[in-house]
Amino acid sequence: MHTTLGGKPKSEARPKFPVESLRTQFPALKHAAPFIFFDNAAGAQIPQIVFDAINRHLLECNVQRGGRYPQSIEVDATIDRGRRSVADLLGARDPSEVAFGMNATSFIRLVSLAIGQSLGARNEIIVSEMDHEANIATWMALESFGAKFHLWKMRDDGNLHSEDLWPLLSAKTRLVACTVTSNALGSIVDVPAVAKFAHDAGAELFLDCVHYGPHGLIDVQAWGCDYLACSGYKIFAPHMGFMWGKRALLEKLPTFREDFIPNEPPGKIEAGTFVYENVAGMTAAIEYLELVGKQLSSNGGSSSRRANLITAMAAIRGYEEELSIEVLEALEKSGATIYGIRPKERVGERVPTFCFNLPRVSPQVVTEEMARAGIGIRDGHMYAPRLMKRLSLSMDSGAVRASLVHYNTSEEIQRFSDVLQKLSKNG
């Protein structure tokens, strides 16, 4: 039985989601109006509070950390605030388990190289055909280290099922690598069940959480994962990456570091200098979500950042389910082939990311026509070649993807639907 991640408030207690007031906090939405951002899976817009944090850092303390003068001390403080904020976002117990860097892909590669150096008798790794290639190729590159691989296949309903994982596990399984949510299909994986199966077999679980980040509550404790990689650019923050891992596992990882860097997290995970102003921006993005939670609380919010984030992400999940149903209806009305979870009663198992094709109309033509109508969506293989093959789609043309977040509206979906109707009639 699939369970829904990042639960939402009960319908009878759910206040109206304040989408219009929240939209005013995103300058790009006003600046680009009447353009519609339906390509959020490739990067969401950022609220003013994030602009301000980045600008303030560059103006006031654009220096290297580790110095004894005030500006440098403030950089150290910025990084410390960032770790504590991200730890709260993830539900982590220890901020030192959070590392900052360039992007999620680089962190996946860092961990894969470390695991490749310590495979031993457990030399089997399980990857899924639903994942972004970054969470597949990085692991399969360990073949020269002696790693063996099993492919966890997606079912026809457009999702991974934990019971299909169990036969692939054995005493030789070192690690299961899977996404939390498909960047192409929007399907949410039942990661607590996956973690239980993996751990029962003595294996570890690495999660790619990039696409799930803006859509629901992340909880590394409840999920039971061992490692998690994420990026800020989908969570209303700048382009940057962060990784979480259980401290005991991070301490054992063999990583590259200069001799003067202690062999302990997070320093051993952060080779070189990362972009400090983007860490400041990530902290501000979390502050934005915290403020959303306070705004939606009947009592004005909690003194706990985590509690406010729980409120915010539950409300976002609830509102986005409403958007998902509206998009599904628009796609069905146009006669589109929808890849992924389609039944409205299962909308809680997906986020508002939709992969589809229209009959007799190429994906490129669909996105070009949408662009002419002032709507930004995407076509192609979505960096998921194995998924395209599973769906019998060519890498050259692929499919169309429309991806929404909580600042999108029903009115925008109606404009999207109008273009779909025009295309389906003329196709």
Q: How many CB atoms lie within 10 A of CB 30?
A: 9
The residue with tokens 């440098």 is 72
pTM flag (> 0.75): yes
One CATH from 1.10.287.70, 3.20.20.70, 3.40.50.2300, 3.90.1150.10 for 11-46+318-426:
3.90.1150.10
What one-letter code names the amino acid at 221?
Answer: Q
Question: Does this chain's domain 11-46+318-426 share its CATH topology with 51-285?
Answer: no
Q: Where exactly are the structural domains of the chain?
A: 11-46+318-426, 51-285
User: Which two tokens mark 151?
Assistant: 């492919």
Cα maximum dimension of the chain = 68
The dihedral over CA atoms of 417, 418, 420, 426, expressed in degrees to the nearest 10, equals 160
Enclosing H/E stretch for 105: helix 104-116
Q: What is the pLDDT along the chain (427 residues), one digit of tens a residue?
A: 455 675 555 544 567 999 999 999 999 999 999 999 999 999 999 999 999 999 999 999 999 999 999 999 999 999 999 999 999 999 999 999 999 999 999 999 999 999 999 899 999 999 999 999 999 999 999 999 999 999 999 999 999 999 999 999 999 999 999 999 999 999 999 999 999 999 999 999 999 999 999 999 999 999 999 999 999 999 999 999 999 999 999 999 998 888 888 889 999 999 889 999 999 999 999 999 999 999 999 888 889 999 999 999 999 999 999 999 999 999 999 999 999 999 999 999 999 999 999 999 999 999 999 999 999 999 999 999 999 999 999 999 999 999 999 999 999 999 999 999 999 988 6
The CA distance from 104 to 53, in Å, is: 22
User: Domain 51-285 has what CATH class?
Assistant: alpha beta
